[in-house]
Amino acid sequence: MNEMNGQQGGEQHEASNGKMNFTRYMIGGLCLVLFLALTGVGYVQMEERLGGGLRPFISGENKKCIDCHMAKDVAVGGINDWKYSRHAPKGIGCIECHRAEKGEPDAYDHYGSMVSTLVTPKDCMQCHDKEAKEFEKSHHARAAQFTNSLDNFLGNVVEGPEVITTGCAGCHGSVVKVMENGKLHPSTWPNSGIGRVNPDGSKGTCAACHARHSFSIAQARQPESCGRCHMGPDHPQIEAYYESKHGVMFSANKDKMKLAQPSEQWHPGKDYLFPTCATCHMSATNAQEVTHDVGDRISWTLRPVISTRLENYEVRRKEMRRVCASCHSEQIVERFFTSMDQGITLYNEKFGKPSKAAMDKLLAMKKITPTPYDEEIEWVFYELWHHEGRRARHGLSKMAPDFVHWQGFYEVAKHFYTKFLPLVRERSPQVAKELLAQESHRWVEKGMTKEEIAQMLEFYDKEMQGKRGGG
Ligand code: HEC
Ligand code: HEC
Ligand code: HEC
Ligand code: HEC
Ligand code: HEC
Ligand code: HEC
Ligand code: HEC
Ligand code: HEC
């Protein structure tokens, strides 16, 4: 009111007070601009953090959970994370996810509400049916089923059983056990392994990629979300990705990636230009929907001793090619897959198949014991395919030449000729001979021809200023 009176007064004395008025209007105007600018910035920040710039909607029931947790300082970080999620403004709060029915194995009475600590794919399915069904049919959902594998024997027996819960299960998933009071057994939870076996019979956890309680797609689209598990000596997808041109371009342009856009506005080649893991394996394109089955677009399995094509591999390959074609010409994509397939076939034919055949023969001849890992040759063979051979193949799929060669085929070849071959020969010269039967291994016995040696010497003399042994 006072301001308005003042303004009216100002109008009455316009002629005499013109200069002062001008100053006042200027200051007022500047204040307004400043106010708008500040609220604008504030608004944008809120918009980025809160789903759609809206405030959390807190129902009476959820208010009880939140008030008590805040007062007792329990999981305050989680609650604040939730506040900025897309769920919060829609009123999808604590009880919508944690509600449980009496009789469910992991339900317990929690200050008057039946809740469970776990929120499984079955719970998310109420509202995200498509994602949950696709995930359910994926290999991801089955990742905790490794009990009878060679790796399991390695972890459980050769290393020690604690490795299974604290190592393997961290990535693959635990079998969650519930104690009598409905609470979860500490050796099986917390766990966000991709194929966790839940007490309600569902498999996996959506929180493996969408960390609670933000459940942000921006975070899930970051390569690191996958790289938490897809890393290391036996499946270095993230390392290979960051070495590839795709990874380099992503890193250099992260701020232009618009990672928080909803999937229908996150199409490669249009809304953003550099692919992440999600782009190739999950995200939508102009012609494709998001898939939560990460196997939908891969045509090989690059994991076993010998790689094989998956069922319906042509369809899967086509799906992947459509992703590439969002950014590239068909010709580049065709050339890439031709050489990738050739690289995988080289590994299979030259190293994978012959070394497996040699191990099978030695076993049949009782030259090795049926117990894995009790002889050096078994470790050498294991690393040959499980570490080095996989690295070569994963490098091929990620357009990462360093992984294809130095960390892949180079190590494969070195250990094949200098470790595996002598260990086979020790046990059976005949099997060693058969191991080298292919033309591609003949160089070992034949060596270089005189001409080849002469050519190499000349190359170093002329091109490399006589520095032999470089390169
Ligand atoms: C009167 C206080 C109070 C209320 C109301 C309350 N909580 Fe809790 N909550 C706690 C305390 C204290 C803990 C930690 C100790 C425990 O597990 O009981 C806890 C723990 C939890 C846990 C973790 C349990 C575990 O196994 O690690 C979950 C999940 C949880 N609360 C969810 C909820 C939900 C959902 C609601 C609302 C329906 C809610 N809480 C209401 C006090 C409360
Ligand atoms: C969109 C679903 C969702 C909502 C909404 C949600 N949670 Fe959770 N919450 C989860 C998931 C998923 C987990 C991880 C449990 C698992 O491993 O299955 C979890 C775990 C927890 C835990 C145990 C882990 C920890 O970090 O201590 C607590 C406590 C908890 N929630 C409390 C709450 C409270 C309080 C609210 C309301 C502000 C809430 N949650 C809202 C899905 C949800
Ligand atoms: C009661 C229904 C309901 C439940 C239960 C629920 N959600 Fe949602 N969720 C929604 C709605 C509605 C949206 C869309 C919000 C919007 O459009 O802003 C959403 C959005 C999302 C998004 C997109 C977030 C983003 O950044 O764009 C993810 C991811 C998600 N939910 C995952 C989950 C997971 C995982 C669970 C289980 C742990 C779960 N939701 C449980 C209703 C639900
Ligand atoms: C850092 C996370 C991580 C750890 C720890 C880990 N794994 Fe894995 N494991 C993976 C990933 C990721 C794959 C899939 C690799 C791929 O697709 O190239 C995999 C693949 C496998 C496979 C092959 C599955 C198939 O379908 O062919 C088995 C078996 C396996 N792991 C068992 C184990 C066991 C047993 C342990 C512990 C001794 C273990 N893993 C430790 C992440 C992990
Ligand atoms: C392997 C990692 C991973 C797992 C596990 C996962 N998600 Fe996602 N999810 C993603 C990624 C990445 C996106 C973003 C896709 C894109 O680029 O649009 C996404 C997107 C979503 C969206 C938004 C979809 C849309 O079309 O906008 C929802 C909802 C969602 N996930 C729910 C779930 C539920 C429910 C589960 C468990 C059944 C789950 N997710 C498990 C990685 C994962
Ligand atoms: C919590 C650990 C974990 C996370 C996070 C994870 N994965 Fe996996 N992934 C695995 C394991 C373990 C396997 C092997 C499953 C098996 O065969 O038993 C696997 C297998 C795969 C496969 C092969 C699928 C098939 O059908 O053979 C692809 C592709 C894949 N993951 C892509 C991704 C992408 C992309 C992301 C991120 C958006 C991701 N993963 C996040 C653990 C994880
Ligand atoms: C530019 C596209 C592209 C990007 C980016 C990409 N991949 Fe792949 N990925 C592929 C292709 C192509 C294959 C092999 C497809 C086939 O089998 O035909 C593959 C295969 C895989 C496999 C299957 C391995 C197996 O054992 O069979 C996994 C797991 C995987 N990628 C994970 C990832 C992860 C994790 C990231 C990010 C760190 C990533 N990919 C980034 C294109 C991509
Ligand atoms: C989101 C867009 C996008 C997608 C999707 C994409 N790429 Fe690329 N790709 C790029 C960009 C950008 C570059 C770098 C171009 C440059 O050199 O400036 C690149 C580079 C390449 C190169 C050249 C690598 C080099 O070392 O010079 C190959 C090969 C390639 N991509 C193959 C593929 C294949 C195969 C797929 C699908 C499996 C794919 N790309 C998916 C954007 C994409």
Tokens of 399: 């357009």
Atom of ligand 8 nearest to the CA of 249: 12
- Ligand 3 centroid, distance to 87 Cα (angstroms): 6
Q: Which ligand is nearest to the CA of 145?
A: 6
Tokens of 173: 């998933």
Of the residues 194, 205, 237, which should be mutated to test ligand 6's pocket, given the most ligand atoms within 8 Å of the CB?
194
- Ligand 4 centroid, distance to 308 Cα (angstroms): 18
Amino acid, res. 267: H
Biggest distance spanned by C-alpha atoms of the chain: 114
- Ligand 3 centroid, distance to 131 Cα (angstroms): 10
Q: Rounded to an integer, what distance in angstroms lies between the CA atom of residue 448 and that of residue 453?
A: 6
| 177 Cα distance to chain centroid | 26
Tens of pLDDT along the chain (471 residues) come to: 333 333 443 344 444 454 555 556 655 555 455 444 444 443 333 344 444 567 999 999 999 999 999 999 999 999 999 999 999 999 999 999 999 999 999 999 999 999 999 999 999 999 999 999 999 999 999 999 998 899 999 999 999 999 999 999 999 999 999 999 889 999 999 999 999 999 999 999 999 999 999 999 999 999 999 999 999 999 999 999 999 999 999 999 999 999 999 999 999 999 999 999 999 999 999 999 999 999 999 999 999 999 999 999 999 999 999 999 999 999 999 999 999 999 999 999 999 999 999 999 999 999 999 999 999 999 999 999 999 999 999 999 999 999 999 999 999 999 999 999 999 999 999 999 999 999 999 999 889 999 999 999 998 888 877 666 554
Q: Which ligand is nearest to the CA of 248?
A: 8
Q: Which of 316, 89, 341 is nearest to 215 (CA)?
A: 89
3-state SS of 114-144?
A: EECCCCCHHHHHCCCHHHHHHHHCCCHHHCC
What radius of gyration do the chain's Cα atoms show? 31
Angle, helices 2-12/14-49, rounded to nearest 10 degrees: 140
- Ligand 3 centroid, distance to 196 Cα (angstroms): 20
pLDDT at 88: 97
Atom of ligand 6 nearest to the CA of 209: 5
Tokens of 469: 């042994």
Ligand 1 pocket residue status of 117, Cβ below 6 Å? yes
Ligand 8 pocket residue status of 274, Cβ below 6 Å? yes
155, 168 contact by CB (below 8 A): yes
Parallel, antiparallel, or unpaired for β 108-110 and 308-309?
Answer: unpaired
190, 200 contact by CB (below 8 A): no
- Ligand 1 centroid, distance to 60 Cα (angstroms): 16
Which residue, by CA, sits nearest to atom 6 of ligand 2?
Answer: 94
- Read off the DSSP letter of residue 183: P
pLDDT at 97: 98
- Answering whether pTM is above 0.75, one says yes
Ligand 6 pocket residue status of 317, Cβ below 6 Å? no
- Read off the DSSP letter of residue 273: S
DSSP 393-440: HHHHHTT-HHHHIIIIIHHHHHHIIIIIHHHHHHH-HHHHHHHT-SGG
Q: What phi and psi, each to the nearest 5 degrees, are found at residue 203?
A: -120, 140
pLDDT at 189: 96
| 91 Cα distance to chain centroid | 30
Residue that the structure tokens 């001793």 belong to: 305
Atom of ligand 5 nearest to the CA of 132: 38
Ligand 4 pocket residue status of 402, Cβ below 6 Å? no
- Ligand 8 centroid, distance to 323 Cα (angstroms): 11
pLDDT at 461: 87
- Ligand 6 centroid, distance to 294 Cα (angstroms): 7
Q: Which ligand is nearest to the CA of 138?
A: 6
Q: Which of 114, 119, 171 is nearest to 146 (CA)?
A: 171
3-state SS of 42-75?
A: HHHHHHHHCHHHCCCCCCHHHHHHHHHHHHHCCC
Amino acid, res. 229: C
- Ligand 8 centroid, distance to 256 Cα (angstroms): 17
3-state SS of 19-39?
A: HHHHHHHHHHHHHHHHHHHHH
Q: Which of 454, 451, 456 is nearest to 469 (CA)?
A: 456
First CA to last CA distance, the chain: 83
- Ligand 1 centroid, distance to 72 Cα (angstroms): 10
Partners of 115 in the beta sheet? 99, 108
Ligand 2 pocket residue status of 295, Cβ below 6 Å? no
Task: Please state, as a whole number, how many other Cβ atoms lie within 10 Å of the Cβ of residue 113.
Answer: 15
Q: Rounded to an integer, what distance in angstroms lies between the CA atom of residue 391 and that of residue 233?
A: 7
Partners of 301 in the beta sheet? 308
Ligand 8 pocket residue status of 336, Cβ below 6 Å? yes
